[in-house]
Amino acid sequence: MGFRKGQKVEIYKKSADDGWESFMDAYVGTHGIITDPDTAINDSDALVEVSLVGKGTFRFPQDCLRCI
């Protein structure tokens, strides 16, 4: 698990992962909170649930996230 529940993160870049969808391009640069990390697998490759301020809650690949 690379991220923990409650951590503040930034979507700082697009990801090439197949979990990244085109609508997410609009969210690069936005901040949010990890609301559900990879609860089961402890896998750095897992999609994590992030609540973005004023945008919604989505699952993102971890390589596009960084802590703030």
Chain-centroid distance, C-alpha 38: 11
Q: What one-character DSSP code corresponds to residue 54?
A: T
* Residue 13 binds other proteins (CB under 8 A): no
* Token couple for 62: 């971890």
Is residue 63 helix, strand or coil? helix
| Stretch 14-53 residues interacting with other proteins (CB under 8 A) | 18-19, 21, 23, 26, 31, 33, 35-47, 49, 51-53
Using CB under 8 A as the criterion, which residues of the chain lie in contact with other proteins when the complex forms?
Answer: 1-2, 4-6, 8, 18-19, 21, 23, 26, 31, 33, 35-47, 49, 51-59, 67-68
